[in-house]
Structure 1
Amino acid sequence: MLHSPGATTASGAPKGDAEYLVELVEETKRVFGLDHLGYVLFDKGFWSQAHFRQLDAAGEILVTPGKNFATVKAAVAQVPRSAWQRVLPNERVADTTLELGGRAFRLVAWKKLGWRVVREADGRPRRDAKGKVVYRAAPVVFTYLTNLSADEFDPDQIVALYSRRWGVEDFFEQTNNQYGLGRFPATDLALVKVHIALTLIGYLLLRQFQQLAAEWTEQAEYATMELRRFSRDFLRAPLNWLRWRRTHSPGQRAPRLRPRHLGFVDGLLNLDG
């Protein structure tokens, strides 16, 4: 594995995420047989000026959140008020540049109304009489570093492009919290591999079933619904109805079926037809 917790740099210091950025890109290209990945979207944990320049020189397009560095703050502060473009009533975007090792990268700033913790003079969060942390409405600025030019993508398109990366976060959240991907049944490597493989197979099968259910019932939200909610809202009612149909006694009231379940139930009953 590229990301080994015990890996160290040449000086003997432990490697961080940033040390693996170029390695991961090169390994991905090798595995898939590609000359270029196209768009490389990554979290700010991989922030490395040297690696940004390497990816840029290799022709890769990168988009990553800006870190809370003084240079980033200064670049945003220099944006004139008239340069902020209105996207929504409470959102603004602006373009500026950030110099990294002799290369000027594009820095997109996205300002929106958010909530900030009110702090005391010593930096501690302020609390109300009930002991709850006090928040106040205030502008919050998010920044995105990229080598895409303004002619290729507008600022709001850069923000939308990076948001595609959240599918990865959703995948890990669901497989870990709902499928137990990280709860290994044993420490034996072979069993761990089997556990991971079976978990991912189950995840993919249910995701495929979600797509089919969305088409059968003409309910587009099923295709992207959280797996746990999909299982609860969609599967429970028709399965209870089918179970009742096999075991009900005269006069027993059938479980209620919603209209969107009817086509699905009919399809199940006619599978052998």
Structure 2
Amino acid sequence: IDLILNDTFYYGMAYSKKYNYYYPHKYEKLVSKELFFKCKEVRLYRTRKPSKVDSNNFIFKGLLSCQKCGCSVTPEIKTKKSGKQYIYYSCTNSKGICQREYIPENKLLEPIIAILERFEGITKDTQEYLLKELRKNNEAEIEFHKKQLKRINTEYQTIQAKISRLTDLLLDNSITKESYEEKLQELKHKQLKLGVEIDLYTKADKDYLLTVSKVLSLATRVKTIFESSEIHEKRALLNYLIQNPALNGKKLYFTIASPYNLVLDLA
């Protein structure tokens, strides 16, 4: 997860080290740009301030909305006569149109754990099958990238040949030094843009294969990761794994975020 939340490639921007240039790619994004930078801000904040234990740190805090009225669903701690504390969630009912119902946090977690167990149950053989299927789903795009690389390399070499001829013209005194410099700068600029494109397509193909492998690796370990994480880490993982979580009465509704939905569909 840390790799994905630290690499701009996963929200849609590839980086060329050679040219120090960011460029949008067309591969499927694993995280939104907003989540990427929000996590970056959190990391920066933690480096500046010592961490404190927050007694009101809840797994679903800030993630849920009411499916009926659209208001926020908030957590609160209730203390039983025995002194034992429990966490409950309910719609804030800010619009006054809902009947406020309380649901324990452990009940909200039940469908989440069920999904995590499905991921955990994916066998090695199924992982190999999924890897092939996920790659197959992108064969057309990969083939397009190969054709683009071939075209760009051809253009790059054509420009290089023009630069060589331009140098010959200068040596033969067929053009002035000023004309040579002007034309050379124009050709070099075109080469620079093509170089960035070459880096983009090359990195995109390599990163895609790496991403598919990491997605499967994370998916099969996600239950263990979730159970061993701190509360704020569990919340971050859920924010990454599920979409549009909403509470309707006492039932939690959500969808699995891409590409993990595809993993479950194919499995």
TM-score of the pair, normalised by structure 2: 0.24
Q: Which fold has the larger relative contact order, with Cα–Cα distance below 8 Å and residues 6 or more apart in sequence?
A: 2
Normalized per residue, the structure richer in helix is: 2
TM-score of the pair, normalised by structure 1: 0.24
